[in-house]
Amino acid sequence: MTNPEMTVSSPRIISYYTGFILLGTSALMIIPVITAVCAREWEPLLDFVISMGLAACLGFLLIIFGRYARNHSDRVQWKHGFAVAALSWIMLMLTCSMPYFLSGHSLSYLDSCFDVMSGFTTTGLVLTQDLDHLSISMNMWRHMLTFIGGQGMVVLALSFIVKEGSGAYKFYVGEGKDIALVPNVKGTARIIWKISLVYLVIGTFVFWVAGLFIGLQPVSAFLHALYMFESSWSTGGFGPNTQNIMYYHSLLYEVVAMVIFIIGSFNFGLHYAIWQGKRKEFVKNIEIQSFAVTSFLGCVLVIAALSKTGLYPDAVSMFRRVVFNVISAHTTTGLGSVYAQQFAQQWGDAGILIMVIVMLIGGSACSTAGGFKGLRVGIVFKGILRDVRKLINSERSMKVYKFHYMKDIALEDGVIRSSALIIVCYMVLFGVGTLIGTFYGYSMADSAFEAASVTGNVGLSIGITNAAMPVVMKIYYIIAMYLGRLEFLSVFALIGLVIAGVKKVCKKYLA
């Protein structure tokens, strides 16, 4: 008889759950398959069927390898949850990029992987060629990936297969969504999807009406509305055309997008609190206060810098070009209402620097947004204020400092330290990205802009990201998007497990 202690090892647990996530991904390809059939796109249909088969085979192989873990979900530890989240995103990148590669719109498999990672992490940078002639099914797939990536693919898949109370929360936290809206994970996942789906219906309808208003045909208006909603809500930044939001030439379309991507960058916990009637949370929440202050300052500073140049002579064009892009960068959306080269040639160093700062700050924690998050900025800022007050006040003062995040939370050293550590990790990732850019001959400003864009999962480009850029930069940008999205801890856990496994094997064979 097999001893479960021996058979239910970490690799088997990780393999078992990762396999299910791959199966889930394979099942999701049904949507572009149906789209391809409806649009009579036979070649893309074949691409998706092949990719679906490959993802399903790989998923089954992983499940078979880890089958002993099936009845031992109580053995799932934090390290497994983190490792499953980190490994799943790599496996998803490898399998979801198959349709891209088979479509012939990518120059290499690496470019396909780049686009999928960009979609899943809601970044929005694109290496796909001839975007304007992409099939409907492929556009559906691209925007679906960014929509699902925003809410959390692992959360979606595991909320169906992991038994409640048996480690589900560990997978859930592993994907960077560490907030429990209700005591159980399934309930929390359902609330996240309910909020997103309600906004999907309303947002798509509003975009559709706006599309009809600017002269699109009803079916085309619907598809554009769906794509743009998915892209805006997930703070993704993809568009069905190379011109992105500029394709529509519409203030109405831009305002609708802004409203959706600002709301999309809010914490799901905040949505839930407001939907439950706690409306004061909207002004009391530390993340909203932090976002309001930093985005306001960002907009005012760029407007002040550019108003001297006369580049945008009237308030409407200034609003559409400056406010739109600053808010898009701050919420880490990446929809752009100016061309990449315009940032480089017209916005000047001050404009670029402010954009870099807001891209790094990003949106809210436990949202679809990236960056090191307004919550952490708020905590560190309040931590500095606390220390200054402690210096000024009497040494015997025992005042407890707090911040408001759904409820009043004590501002302890541990909270400040963990926030500061994550910010440091982001800054290192950004610094290395900038260094690599300058190493390959790009200017400091351009390198910093692009590095901030990938680190913060933004998607705005200053012109560096294209299929001709060095392979090393493509690989680094993939890693930066991945680390930025999963907020480091999951990836560190996976690396730790791999190193521990290698050490074990070495000891076994070298002893």
Partner 1 sequence: MKISKTEWIGMLVEIVGVLAYLFALFVITLLFVR
Residue ranges that bind partner 1, judged by CB under 8 A = 194, 197-199, 202, 255, 258-259, 262-263, 266, 271, 274-277, 279, 282, 292, 296, 299-300, 303-304, 307, 312-315, 318-319, 322-323, 327
Smallest distance from partner 1 to CB 318, Å = 5
Smallest distance from partner 1 to CB 303, Å = 5
The DSSP annotation for 404-420 comes to EESEEEE--HHHHHHHH
Smallest distance from partner 1 to CB 222, Å = 21
Nearest residue (CB) to partner 1, 277 versus 441: 277
The DSSP annotation for 456-511 comes to TT----SS--STTS-HHHHHHHHHHHHHHHHTTHHHHHHHHHHHHHHHHHHHHHH-
Q: 277-281 — which CB contacts under 8 Å span 24+ positions?
A: 281/406
The DSSP annotation for 240-293 comes to SSTTGGGGG--HHHHHHHHHHHHHHTS-HHHHHHHHTT-TTHHHH-HHHHHHHH
Smallest distance from partner 1 to CB 274, Å = 4
Residue for token pair 């064979």: 509
Nearest residue (CB) to partner 1, 174 versus 298: 298
Phi and psi at 404, nearest 5°, equal -105, 115
Nearest residue (CB) to partner 1, 130 versus 314: 314
What residues contact 448, with CB distance under 8 A and at least 6 apart? 352, 356, 430, 434, 437
Nearest residue (CB) to partner 1, 405 versus 476: 405
Smallest distance from partner 1 to CB 307, Å = 5
Smallest distance from partner 1 to CB 210, Å = 15
Smallest distance from partner 1 to CB 352, Å = 19
**Distance in angstroms (rounded) separating the CA atoms of residues 492 and 83:** 8
**Distance in angstroms (rounded) separating the CA atoms of residues 145 and 236:** 10
Nearest residue (CB) to partner 1, 177 versus 321: 321
Smallest distance from partner 1 to CB 292, Å = 7
Smallest distance from partner 1 to CB 195, Å = 9
The answer to whether residues 13 and 69 touch, using CB atoms and an 8 Å cutoff, is yes
Radius of gyration of the chain (CA): 23
Q: Please, is 313 exposed, middle or buried when counting C-beta atoms within 10 Å of its C-beta (0-12, 13-18, 19+)?
A: exposed
Helix extents (H) in 121-184: 136-151, 153-161, 168-174
Smallest distance from partner 1 to CB 276, Å = 7
Amino acid (one-letter) located at 168: A
Structure tokens at 460: 């705005």
**Distance in angstroms (rounded) separating the CA atoms of residues 141 and 428:** 33
Nearest residue (CB) to partner 1, 259 versus 498: 259
Nearest residue (CB) to partner 1, 280 versus 399: 280
Nearest residue (CB) to partner 1, 49 versus 251: 251
Nearest residue (CB) to partner 1, 34 versus 263: 263
Q: Which of 345, 327, 340, 360 is nearest to 454 (CA)?
A: 360
What residues contact 345, with CB distance under 8 A and at least 6 apart? none
Nearest residue (CB) to partner 1, 62 versus 323: 323
